[in-house]
Structure 1
Amino acid sequence: MKRMLFVATLASTVLSANPATAQKSSHASTNKLDYEAVGSQIGVTPADPQIAAALKLVSADRIKANITRLVEFHNRSTISSTETDLKPGTGVFAAADWIKLQFESYSKDCGGCLEVQFDEFVEQPQAGFNNSHPRIVKPTPLRNVYAILRGSDPSAAKRMYLITGHYDTRETDVMNTHDFAPGANDDSSGTAVSLEAARVMSKFKFPATLIFVAVAGEEQGLNGSHHLALRAQKEGWELEGVLNNDIVGGDTTPGDTLQSKQRVRVFSQGILPSSPIEQIRQALSIGGENETPSRQLAREVLAVDRTYLSTSKEPFHAAMELRLDRFLRGGDHRSFSDEGFPSVRFTEWRENFDHQHQHVRTENGKEYGDLLKFDDFNYIARVAGLNIATLATLANSPGMPQQVHVSTSNLDNDTILKWEAPKSSTGDVHYQVVWRETAINDWQYAFDVKDTSGSTPYSVLLPISKDNVFFGVRACNAKADCSQAVPPVPLREH
């Protein structure tokens, strides 16, 4: 198979005859480090007009209306599905029916563009979650609710991106199915983000497929997301990104001066403990514990944020957290990560635990409970905007490059990267190599590979020591909508 080798010079062009010579003379005159002398610093990518138009449609008022309605279902405990004495119009199944109606109304507005379904199953009695007492003690019906916006490109439509929040709630006693458990923040806020993303994005067409989900069973042990992730794995979904929103209400507690309405946390999985031991050893040997698919998805969120939100009139910043989740807590992104799908969790900057998993009450003048009054709907709208921009960027992109490798055949100060085209994409594709210093978390520099015509695998030679940086390769379209980067795997050729 023919190989294409692109050689990067210090002037950031291709097809130099001797990059090592150019490197030496440039260093003599500019005193730049090798990773600074090729390519350019990553800045703000120009906005895609389609995505910018979509963001203008995000409505804090609609988000407020949806959360208000969800709270009115009184108690959305997953196990309330087995109760027979609930007040009509309350409980988890009534909420599921209403969510499905919302998706269907959005589909009606776009001429039937959404495929709206229940993902129904029966969860069997189970052991305790996180060493707790069992939270499902008898066969319990569960309903995930989802809407699919099929990709407009027959090939790219095979790729999928999913957004989710959980619509079940809990009281202090996770087995309490009757007392008021509003869940205005945990997780009506995340469910509202998924609903608003479906409403807005259904007005546009994207090459890849988008799935908008509200899952049940999170509070009982991630049951709904676990079932959906297993289904995706079993059915062979090309699921390249999962965005989970859980507790994104921007808690507004009088007197709390440490909350930030300009930040949202983005949590992601490092090395999977279930990975083959050989993969874990290889990752640890090259310092690749932060180069996992989920961490790369989080970096893409940061890139999207720079383009669409952090430079707006009211800057909004995504903060990458190098943790799967918060201490003593878990979320639905874990279910997808465990199955090998890139996934992240969005959560407000500073949680108030008096307003989570609490019996609604007032004690000594302090209010407890996850009440509507503590949500900030403008904050939730900005989180929704970040999710929408991320989904749209990924759905418009060509998808992730495949078989990305770094040559480790020789001891030298150059780097040869090789890769193949994304699985399911059409149209013009160009590639961008990104890198950062090993002590830095986000991408710093980029090099555009200009000519990608001809046979694969593609290759590029950069006069940068692979020992001093982390590399990634991403695929972009003509509007600079790029996939998340794919880190290279060492390949020793003989």
Structure 2
Amino acid sequence: MKPFMLPFTVSALLASVPALAAIEYEDQQKLHDIAAAVSPDRIEQDITKLVSFGTRHTLSETESDTHGIGAARRWIKAEFDAISAACGGCLEVYYQSKVISGEPRIPNPTEVVSVIAIQRGEVDPDRYVIMSGDIDSRVSDVMDYTSESPGANDNASGVAGTLEAARVLTKHKFAGSIVYAALAGEEQGLFGGKIMAEQAKEDGWRIKAVLNNDMIGNIEGVNGVINNTTARIFAEGTRMDETPEDARRRRFTGGEVDSPARNLARYIDWMADRYITNLDTMVIYRLDRFARGGHHRPFNDLGYPGVRIMETNENYNRQHQDLRVEDGIVYGDTIDGVNFDYAAKLTALNAVTLASMAWAPTPPTKVSISGAVSPDTTLTWGATSPEEEELVAGYRVYWRHTDAPNWEFSRYVGDVTEYTLENIVIDNYFFGVASVSEDGFESPVVFPGPAGAFGE
């Protein structure tokens, strides 16, 4: 019997297609150490203190040292100051404020005051990644600024996580800058985020990530599910600042699911898989919960990559509720509804993401792609800035099937600004490029064109 032979055309085709390269990644012990350093006990102490102020409503008391949002923000600033003192003054800590009035939820002139702490990078200090939580709390009536409003999970948990991340990360030095933000005025209209985003734009901040932590401590859902092993990452698709010309280009080349926010979310998901024990993150293709909002949105509005990190199972009996018992149901956002180990787990996820991005080079800029009516796909990108020349070892090209949620294949291509994937057809995959440092830290993947750009 003659040996079986494939027809020449098929065998030649198979021989011409290279084996797809599974993603390789260099494990970073420093990130394991950072994750392990996050303390549930310290988070519990901070949430307990924030709850002790009675209410942190944006319109509440500002003169008392023990009650209201004024006392809360002064305590937060003192904590950042203490963290800075412990690291030899490595944080720039300041209040950021603006008087708001004439708004539906802030009718009378009110100073909205956030607390900002900046840990400057040593190589490229004008490149920023941001972690935020919200200071303010509320009860059923959004205008009720006198009733007790503990806000233990919403959102003392996010502020406590931000403080704890600062304690852990200030023990290290980074290439890029890290910002820790306790933002005010969220419940009254996202004002703290708007003030910060607009000031960052005016000051020319090159923001590569905004991690908004809003409710990271609840594991018992109103649906009866108890689960401390999952978290959600909300990330918008088409970018808010897209121009008509950008939209036309995206229609023909793709990018609806590859905004910088989406690729930031994929990056965070990778961090969870690699460094956070027993945590699976759900990347949700939506700006926020259905028809709801959070403090990452003002940054998205101005074109910055921002996501919301939060618990998977919300308990609406503990959100925006007067403290009461009704028909046997206990209502109110009290501290007994917070799981501190879970809050620490999500804080650790933030910390390793911030550290990885701050140690990695800036994401590639000016990424473009070509290959129509060709068997090959070519990617090009801009050369790194002079500040980061010594930081960048090279670049990694990524690709995935168009219906795959995460990047599937990659190839390290060295310190070049152009690379051709031979016999990888542009029509069948989505593509991107990441920067790689000398010690193996990678930036998020950047999709070609304005749809995926992380900014200059």
Equivalent of 2:364 in 383, 401, 412: 401
Q: In structure 2, what is the equivalent of residue 212 of structure 1?
A: 180
2:332 aligned to which of 356, 369, 375: 369
Q: Structure 2 residue aligned with 1:332, among 285, 295, 298?
A: 295
Taking the aligned partners of 1:138 and 1:24, their CA distance within structure 2 comes to: 76
Deviation (angstroms), 1:28: 4.5
Change in Cα spacing, 1:488 to 1:274, as seen in structure 2 (3 Å) is closer
What's the CA shift string for 1:52-102, capped at 9, x where partnerless? 222221000000000010001111011115x77xx6511111100000011
2:188 aligned with 1:196:
no
Output the amino acid matched with 1:299.
R
TM-superposition CA deviations, 1:300-330 (whole Å, max 9, x none):
1112122212xx3xx1112100000001310
Aligned residues: 440
Aligned residues: percent identity?
Answer: 37
Alignment partner, residue 107 of structure 1: 84
| SS of equivalent residue, structure 1 residue 121 | strand
Does residue 55 in structure 1 map to residue 35 in structure 2?
yes
Q: 1:305 aligns with which of 272, 275, 287?
A: 272
Distance in 1 of aligned mates of 2:30 and 2:219:
31
Q: Which residue of 2 aligns with 1:73?
A: 53
Q: Can you list the C-alpha shifts for 1:136-186, whole angstroms capped at 9, x where unaligned?
A: 101110111011111122xx2221111001010011001111111111111
Q: How far did 1:26 drift? A: 7.4
- The 2-side partners of 1:396 and 1:181 are apart by 39
Structure 2 residue corresponding to 1:460, chosen from 412, 420, 438 = 420
| Contact in 2 for aligned 1:265/1:347 (Cα 8 Å) | yes
* Counterpart check, 1:426 vs 2:389: yes
Residue 22 (structure 2) aligns with: 41
1:234 counterpart residue number:
202
The reply to whether residue 136 of structure 1 matches residue 109 of structure 2 is no
Q: 5 Å matches for 1:377-388?
A: 377-388=340-351
User: Structure 1: how far apart are the matches of 2:30 and 2:240?
Assistant: 40
Q: Distance in 2 between matches of 1:227 and 1:329?
A: 20
**Aligned match of 2:407 in 431, 437, 443?**
443
Counterpart residue identity of residue 122, structure 1: V
Alpha-carbon contact 1:398-1:429 (below 8 Å) kept = no
CA distance in 2, matches of 1:250, 1:462: 49
Shift of 1:257: 4.5
Secondary structure in 2 aligned to 1:221? coil
Q: Does 1:27 align with 2:14?
A: yes
Contact 1:268 / 1:344 at 8 angstroms: preserved in 2?
yes
Measure, in 2, the Cα distance between the counterparts of 1:339 and 1:99.
Answer: 27
AA partner of residue 139 (structure 1): P
Distance 1:273 1:242, change over 3 A: closer
Deviations 1:198-227 (A, max 9, x none): 111011111110000000000000000001
Q: C-alpha root-mean-square deviation of aligned residues, in Å?
A: 2.0
Task: Give ranges in structure 2 of 5+ residues lacking alignment.
Answer: 1-9, 451-456
Q: Equivalents in 1 of 2:283, 2:226: separation in Å?
A: 17
Tell me the TM-score normalized by structure 1: 0.85
Residues in 2 aligned to 1:147 and 1:290: alpha-carbon distance in whole angstroms: 32
The equivalent residue for 2:280 is 317
1:250 Cα offset (Å): 2.3
Does the C-alpha gap of structure 1 residues 426 and 124 become closer, same or farther in structure 2, counting only changes over 3 Å? farther
How many angstroms apart in 2 are the aligned matches of 1:467 and 1:118? 50
Q: 1:39 touches 1:448 (CA, 8 Å); kept in 2?
A: no
TM-score of the pair, normalised by structure 2: 0.92
Match of 1:97 in 2: 74
Contact 2:240 2:303 in 1 (8 A): no
The residue type paired with residue 65 of structure 1 is Q
Deviations 1:225-279 (A, max 9, x none): 00100011111001111111001112436x9652321111000111134421121
Superposed displacement of residue 24, structure 1:
6.7
Task: Check if 1:178 corresponds to 2:146.
Answer: yes
Q: Which runs of structure 1 show a deviation greater than 6 angstroms over 4 or more consecutive aligned residues?
A: none
Q: Secondary structure at the match of 2:112?
A: strand
More deviation, 439-448/426-435: 426-435
Select which of 245, 258, 278 maps to 2:213: 245
2:98 to 121, 134, 145: 121
Q: In 2, Cα distance between the equivalents of 1:182 and 1:24?
A: 69
Give the distance between the partners of 1:141 and 1:212, measured in 2 at CA: 20
Report the 3-state secondary structure (helix = DSSP H, G, I; strand = E; otherwise coil) of the residue aligned with 1:157.
strand
Partner residue in 1 for 2:232: 265
Give the CA deviation at 1:444.
0.7
1:165 aligns with 2:133: yes
Partner residue in 2 for 1:469? 429
- In the TM superposition, residue 422 of structure 1 has moved relative to its aligned partner by 3.6
- The alignment partner of 1:358 has SS state of coil
Contact 1:75 1:170 survives alignment (8 Å): yes
